[in-house]
Structure 1
């Protein structure tokens, strides 16, 4: 008997999932993800990279039914999810699934919130759809990692289209077959390249993942169909965009083993693989606080992904967020790594620029993904070393609820929404029992 198609099994999983069977710990993880996502988005509400697409989409929008975070206006659902996904991902401060380096919430949460607002759905329905979308997104990412990313595909954007389609399909109440078709249609909407990471074009592809995933589900609802093996077929998405896919990574343990439960949250607005570098440098500075001139050289060792992402010249704030050299400079020179430390003023700081030149990167294939070893050589000839394998915010060393709330407050203040932060936090943390999502969306407006 022929094996079922990956999309077929995912379609059954999405349509057949029962909220009552979702474990309480996983429900709480959904709340944490959405809280983190909205806070990150509010922090950049006044950024030109958010306001520019907002202006473009206002000119294209149909009837306004969905709130754009922090903007005091609504767009149609596809316009709102596009802008909100961009905002959620812009600072590189959002959640991360380390095995794939997918940021699960940015393409998926805006779709859940927009559809629920439009249709008067409950917070529990939002959380359920969000968890299913994130699960689909991460499982498909597992199937093509690491070759997919290494080929230049921006995996949050490419796999995010599937996550958005899955979440929308659940909220639209699609049948298992329609969910299968929605994922197949999403496979033709999937795009985004790593070359664009230092520019806002990266964020456009994240916005498109949300927008086009929603579009795929709406087309499936209207009767559109897709090829049965659109994901894993000989000429399907996975083989076109990567190596031989691990189809079992998509389908095995659906509903019992949850990849979305492995989501991590960042204490620093930088790529997840740089957090161990920052933690190691902060620890070295705390153990021996010296002025920058007392340090002759710094060597940072890590796996191939760390070097591929972060051994780069730093020209702008986007480079800084994915730079080994800047991360080390912040930890050793400033002793802090908040949002301001990754902005253009810090990039242009002559002391930090001079220190970045002292930092070299080295491959150590024996270190796991997300780990780093930092060696500092001092001007007096002495040296010190620190290895970090589980940085703050990682799966083994997670951010506490209090730390997540504090991060939300900080981001809300950056965006100019400090006075609403406590009410927003309370509403998000009460999602599971909210009969209607619209009061939360009114707070976010």
Structure 2
């Protein structure tokens, strides 16, 4: 019987024909990722990473999405991945809360852009397929470790994403099954990521490294660099290191007939995914009115325990921390009736009214609650109570973002950055990506020559 690692490698080397729905889901995930990379490309953390390029980058051959600089292939994968994830506005796989596109997409695009420069362009269908395979491996590994891995504090996007990036790049390089196993071993040697870094610049390092490390893993394997025979299931392999009871069937079960990309979702708000139903509830209550924020005595959230575990962060001091703070999200959305990129800025965090209202928040855990559900209870000074429940937040599997929603989100992120980019043309290229002769050609249009702000 083939090992787990060998089974994964064989699947990536010779996958079955992908259904149209899977290709569509992969294309939509890439469109969303490019949009979030544009939106995040001007953050201070990305500026600092880009400033390292003269000292550490090779020949400037590859596109940095949303930025005027260029970088070598590995640094482009790194910085584009960090940009795509920095606002927590990227995709989310259910139930693992992995953001598969951030580590996998930039690795695929950087390699495809390099191959095109060598006269070997990757067509759009092949690029999407490689991306889907990488996302599949990433999310199946996440399913195997869920929920212990994330609960222990591992940043699951990074720790699992490096393997997906390696497999996606390996697919484009047409690695043999044995070379793909080697690439899994090289990914094992480079994986990292801690939940402790969420809300800080450090978080972007492990996401960027997952893309860079996965791409490097495939390139090393292509050059004959060898690794362990069982990097995933070995006695001291990835699964043994990260959980006590790995669910092997979650990796190999229905492989090629059940696609995890179909469980990928897109966020309507730039924050931790467990805050989506919270914000939706607050926006609904703000729109209904009937109370003044100054009359609020307390706000109680009843939801999945992960909501409290990940977002009970009072008195945050930065926009990045605000993205994972229920106190900030509730206060700002109740006060202002919006939850856009500006709502999670340093300026928004400094608002004394937001700080005061956030201090009135309490949590109530409900283990039976879905991740995309919440009940909010507002108690007012006159004794009234206002209740509102969200059973399936927008952006979840039960209420997915439409193509129009994704296009609007894409345009809004260009506007946020103040870039002179033709958003409609970029969206059209990405929506037709599967028919492109060169799947990475659109990258040139993501790089601005001038800035509006």
TM-score (norm 2): 0.95
- The partner residue of 1:61 within 57, 62, 74 is 57
When residues 438 and 282 of structure 1 are mapped into structure 2, their CA distance, relative to the original with a 3 A threshold, is closer
Judge conservation of contact 2:161–2:211 (CA < 8 Å) in 1.
yes
Counterpart check, 1:89 vs 2:91: no
* Structure 1 residue 278: Cα displacement: 0.8
Q: Tell me the SS of whatever aligns to 1:369.
A: coil
Q: Count the aligned residue pairs.
A: 441
8 A Cα contact 1:409 1:418, kept in partner? no
CA distance in 2, matches of 1:77, 1:199: 26
User: Counterparts of 1:46 and 1:227 in 2: how far apart (Å)?
Assistant: 39
- Aligned: 1:360 with 2:366: no
CA distance 1:152–1:438, shift in 2 (3 Å): closer
Please name the residue that 1:420 is paired with.
Answer: 422
For residue 50 of structure 1, the aligned residue among 46, 52, 55 is 46
1:41-63 CA deviation, whole Å, 9 max, x = no partner? 11122222111111213322222
Query: Matched residues in 2 for 1:107 and 1:355: separation?
Result: 36
Partners of 1:7 and 1:184 within 8 A in 2: no
Distance 1:34 1:22 in 2: 16
Aligned to 1:144: 145
Gaps of 5+ in 1: none
> Partners of 2:377 and 2:233 in 1: how far apart?
44
| CA RMSD, 1 decimal | 1.3
Shift of the alpha carbon at 1:185? 1.8
Q: Does 1:119 align with 2:96?
A: no
Pair 35,438 (structure 1): closer, same or farther in 2 beyond 3 Å? closer
* Map of 2:438 onto structure 1: 436
In structure 2, the partner of 1:255 is: 256
SS at match of 2:283: helix
The alpha-carbon deviation at position 430 of structure 1 amounts to 1.3
- How far 1:346 moved relative to its partner? 1.0
Pick which of 71-80 and 57-66 moved more: 57-66
CA contact (8 A) 2:421 2:445 kept: no
- What is the 5 A alignment of 1:69-84? 69-84=65-80
Distance in 2, matches of 1:361 and 1:438, equals 46
Distance 1:55 1:286 in 2: 43
Counterparts of 1:342-421 in structure 2, within 5 Å, are 342-421=344-423
- 1:83-232, aligned counterparts within 5 Å? 83-120=79-116, 121-232=122-233
| Alignment correspondent of 2:12 | 14
TM-superposed deviation, 1:72: 2.5
Q: How many angstroms does 1:182 deviate by? A: 0.9
Kindly indicate whether the alpha-carbon contact (under 8 Å) linking 2:299 and 2:376 is maintained by their aligned counterparts in 1: yes
**Is the 8 Å Cα contact of residues 275 and 391 (structure 1) preserved in structure 2?**
yes
Segment drifting more, 411-420 vs 28-37 = 411-420
Note the C-alpha offset of 1:418.
4.8
Which region of structure 1 is more displaced relative to structure 2, 312-321 or 261-270? 312-321
Structure 2 residue 337 is the aligned partner of structure 1 residue 341 = no
**Distance in 1 separating the partners of 2:376 and 2:343:** 20
CA distance in 1, matches of 2:222, 2:276: 42
State how far apart, in whole Å, the 1-side matches of 2:344 and 2:443 are.
Answer: 30
Question: TM-score, normalising length from structure 1?
Answer: 0.96
SS at match of 2:265: coil
Following superposition, the deviation at residue 377 of structure 1 comes to: 0.9
**2:272 and 2:323 in contact (8 A); partners too:** yes
Could you tell me how far apart the structure 1 residues matched to 2:234 and 2:249 are? Answer: 14
Change (3 A) 1:40 1:203: same
Distance 2:149 2:40 in 1: 29
- In the alignment, does 2:21 pair up with 1:25? yes
Native 8 Å contact 1:98 1:370 kept in 2: no
Q: Secondary structure at the match of 1:297?
A: strand
